[in-house]
Amino acid sequence: MSSSATDTSSRLRITEIFYSLQGESGSAGMPTVFIRLTGCPLRCGYCDTAYAFQGGEWMDVKDIVSSVSAYRTRYVTVTGGEPLAQRNCHELLRQLCDAGYEVSLETSGALDLSGVDSRVVRVMDLKTPSSGECERNLYANIGCLSRRDQVKFVIADREDYEWSARQVENYHLADRCEVLFSPSYGQQDAAMLAGWILEDHLTVRFQVQLHKILWGDEPGR
């Protein structure tokens, strides 16, 4: 096999690599390196990273891992787009774990999680009705989750909230992993969502997007 073919087989298309505070999930507030992969098969109505659907630059996995080392942090998040849409994402996750980082994967929940390295914290969306992609949820992924993983619901209205509460109950999600309810930025009033959670005594973690509060819609933050 030629060297060029070898390089191609270990590459990923990258939109950006940046250092910021984790804005959501169980490690919210922690300084984190984000690796944003290009491309996504979904088109959610509340998506805030449409700029990652196309473009980006090809990078070899080893060069991506090397670039992360320039930032002195133990936390790395691989996100998108939908990172699992690129087959070499699994190799990237493995190499990051081998390098000693605490690695999380932000995924839409529409693609198979079974091959993800067990050392990776999986932060998996279940797409709510307002996303327009609710039918793409791959519910078999729930069986791949453990106590260290998280399921996230982005909630844009009352219908989303009630649908999400039913999924928590039907799939016993709070017994399997941490459950996150997040108001869709600019669509769902955060205090109202918090009130609904308290009124219904849901065993979920309410969260807001910390990075949105700090930097608004600025890309790469």
pLDDT of res. 2: 37
Calculate the dihedral angle through the C-alpha atoms of 16, 92, 131, 215, rounding to the nearest 10 degrees. Answer: -30
Q: Is residue 181 part of a domain?
A: yes
pLDDT of res. 23: 84
Sheet holding 11-21, edge to edge: 57-60, 11-21, 31-37, 75-79, 102-107, 121-125, 150-155, 178-183, 205-206
- Token pair listed for 24: 């959501």
Backbone angles phi and psi of 128, in degrees to 5: -80, 165
Q: How many residues does the chain have?
A: 221
* Cα(105)–Cα(25) distance, integer angstroms: 11
Q: Is residue 220 part of a domain?
A: no
Q: Which of 32, 31, 30, 52 is nearest to 41 (CA)?
A: 52
Q: Is residue 61 part of a domain?
A: yes
- Residues 119-132 as b/e (b if ≥16 CB within 10 A, e otherwise) read ebbbbbbbbbbbbe
Q: Is residue 27 part of a domain?
A: yes
Neighbouring CB atoms inside 10 A of 212's CB total 16
pLDDT of res. 217: 72
The helix/strand/coil state of 105 is strand
| CATH code, domain with 127 | 3.20.20.70
pLDDT of res. 70: 92
Q: Is residue 32 part of a domain?
A: yes
Q: Is residue 221 part of a domain?
A: no
Cα–chain center distance at 176 = 18
Q: What does the pLDDT profile of the chain (221 residues) look like in tens digits?
A: 333 444 557 999 999 999 999 888 888 889 999 999 999 999 999 998 999 999 999 999 999 999 999 998 999 999 999 999 999 999 999 999 999 999 999 999 999 999 999 999 999 999 999 999 999 999 999 999 999 999 999 999 999 999 999 999 999 999 999 999 999 988 999 999 999 999 999 999 999 988 778 877 766 66
| Structural domain harbouring 197 | 3-215
Q: Which of 34, 140, 153 is nearest to 96 (CA)?
A: 34
pLDDT of res. 6: 42
- Token pair listed for 163: 């649908």
CA atoms within 13 A on the CB side of 145: 28
Q: Is residue 204 part of a domain?
A: yes
Q: Is residue 42 part of a domain?
A: yes
| Domain count for the chain | 1
Question: Is the whole model's pTM more than 0.75, yes or no?
Answer: yes
